[in-house]
Every structure is written in structure tokens, then in C-alpha cells.
Amino acid sequence: MFEFDWLWVFLLTPLPLLLRWLLPRAKPLNSALKVPFYAALSHRDSGGQSNLFNLALLTLLWLLLICAAARPRWYGEPITQAGSARDLLVAVDISGSMETPDMLIGGRPAMRIDAVKQVVGDFVERRKGDRLGLVLFGTRAYLQAPLTYDRETVGTLLREAQIGFAGQGTAIGDAIGLSVKRLTQRPAEQRVLILLTDGANTAGEVSPLKAAQLAQQAGITVYTIGVGADEMVQPGLLGSRYGSRRINPSRDLDSKTLQAIAEETGGRYFRARNPRELAEIYAELDALEPVEQEAESYRPLKSLFFWPLGAALLLSGIWALAPLVTHLSHAGGRHSRTAVRGGRAQ
């Protein structure tokens, strides 16, 4: 839809006529500078047609300037965008133990971090409408992606995460503390943290339970996920079955603390022993924290003032240069005729 933002500017349309009628005529002044071709530049045919043409051109220029000053705009069709009042941070453990190959993907052993990237990546893609962020933690916790609607970037940063980048330890308390700090910087009706780890708190400056208390005071719901199989076969000599034994790769998982964190903040603790269970957990999280569908509508706006302004500048430039071009062409024609006559005289 086309409209003018400042319609009152069109009240200035008769201003040149009012000035012509109200102001006295200017008295002629003697020229202080003599230019040989000034008369040719300033001379305009006093005929009626020429005066009408100049008047029409000046009127058009004034109308174009009025249109530009009135701020013409084009409003596009309404666009509806889903909004959300939820801020959701995903904290992923990338300590050394996440390299343990006790997960099966496509029937083949895979590291825990690979299963996490696959399942959590799908979860991030489904959270359309939420502000998502990513925290990676090991010995230290780092904000890898701030809260954003750009789910594609969050997923890319998760896939690019490497084991050991944050150290070999596990700072669960620091990861929760960093998440609390980031989530409380922006107003939201619902703040959610999903923390995934395969071990116990072995590093950091803040204890997990103390960090959980801070999250509870800030109104943040924390869902904790303990990942890792309960049993795996450790190969024997030279990778053969001879001397192999069954071990519990999740013996260091502190389920008790993770459950206490969830209960303190009103969340839940989940146990993921394989990629299927991990996927089911994130599907349940989708149900526990559904995506908001509050619609926000806006109309794209495009300013068009530069079109009438550009046309006015172009026409005024042509109108100003026309006498000079005419003078030069006449002068060139006279010079050519003089040269021809001179040649014949010789």
C-alpha cells in the first residue's frame, strides 16, 4: 500500500504563487562581473511557447520536491512471525570422557559426543520460535552461542564442538552458574536450562548444588541428563575377544547430584543409556516445554522519497545546462561557416 507519511507538506504547494504575489519585485542590479557569453546563457526566447514550457517545467520541479518532502512510503503485505517468551540454553559436556565409544549409531559403536550432537542437533532444529543458546563445558564453562533465534548457527556450533577444547575435567557448577548469568540478562516468562553430562563435578569454582540454588532463585528450570551406557565390552589383547571383559563405563556418573539439581529447580532428571533413549528424552522435553506460538505481525516498509527527489535533480540539471549546450552548438556552427567562407576566399 502506497501512502505519504507527511500529507501536510502538500499545503505548501501554492507557496511560490503566494511569494510572487506578496513580495515586491527585485530591483535590477548592475553586473559586477562581465562574462562574454553571459547574455547567451541568460537569454531565453521571450515567445509565449518558451515561457509556458519554462513555467510548466518549474511547476513540475516544485511538485516533485513537495512529493519527496511528504515522505512517500510503500507498506508491504502483513508478515506474521511466531514469537516466544522462552529463553532456552543447552549445556553440553565436552570433557575427555565424552569420547567413550559406548553408543551405537547405525549398528556401529560411536562416541558419546557423536550421539549427543545428532540428537541435540535435531532438538535444536525443532525449537522454532524459542531463543536458543549453547554452553560448552569441561574444566571451564564457555558460552559458545548467545541466546538467539538463529537455530542454524547454534546447530553448526554444536556440530563443530571438539572434545578437550574446554579441558578434561567436568565443571557442572560453573556451567549452571554461567547459564544463570546469561539467562537473567534478558526478560522472559520462562527460562530453561538443559544440562547434559556423563560424569561428576570435578572442576570449577561453584558447587553444583549452590549453582542450582542460584538457578531456583532466578526462576530457571533445569533439566539434567546423564548420558552413558551401563555396560560395554572392553576388548582383550590386541583387540581380540581373548581376555575381554564387561565394564560399567558410567561408574563416574553422579546421578544423585544431577537429580538434586533438577528437583531444586522444578525440573527433571533423565538417564540416557543409548541414542534411542536420548532421543526419547528430548521428545519428552518438547512436550514439557512446548514451543510458544504467539504470533507477531509486522509490515515491511520501504521509503520512496529518493525517486521524486532524483527526478527533480535530473530535470533541473538538464534545464540549467540546456542554454549552454545550445550556445556551444551555435558557436561551433558559426565557426564552421566562417572557416568555410575563409577557405573559399583563398
Rounded to two decimals, the pTM is 0.61
Q: Phi first, then psi: what are they for 329, rounded to 5°?
A: -70, -40
pLDDT surpasses 80 at 32: no
User: Per-residue pLDDT averaged across 2-8, rounded?
Assistant: 86
In 87-207, which ranges are continuous DSSP H helix? 112-126, 151-159, 172-183
> What does the pLDDT read at residue 293?
53
Instruction: Identify the weakest region by mean pLDDT among 15-24, 104-113, 118-127, 284-293.
Output: 284-293
Reported as a pLDDT band with limits 50, 70 and 90, residue 44 is: very low
Maximum pairwise Cα distance, the chain: 123
**DSSP assigned state of 264:** H
Q: CA-CA distance, 229 to 315, in Å (whole number)?
A: 79
The candidate with the shortest Cα–Cα distance to 214, out of 183, 177, 189, 188, is 177
Give CB contacts under 8 A, 24+ apart, made by 146-151.
146/182, 147/87, 147/89, 147/182, 147/183, 147/186, 151/124, 151/125, 151/127
Gap between the Cα atoms of 170 and 112, Å rounded: 15
Locate all alpha helices (DSSP H) within the chain, ordered by sequence: 15-22, 38-42, 48-69, 112-126, 151-159, 172-183, 208-217, 255-265, 275-288, 306-345
294-298/79-83 β-pairing: antiparallel
Contact assessment for residue 286 and residue 58, using Cβ atoms and an 8 Å cutoff: no
Which one is predicted more confidently, 136 or 48? 136
pLDDT at residue 56 above 80? Answer: yes
- At 138 the pLDDT is 95
Q: What is the rounded CA–CA span in Å between residue 197 and residue 253?
A: 8
Query: pLDDT, tens digit, for every residue of 115-134?
Result: 999 999 999 998 887 889 99
The whole-angstrom separation of Cα 210 and Cα 226 is: 19
- Buried b / exposed e over 140-153, threshold 16 CB at 10 Å, is bbebbbebebebee
What is the spatial distance between Cα 246 and Cα 149, in angstroms, rounded to a whole number? 44
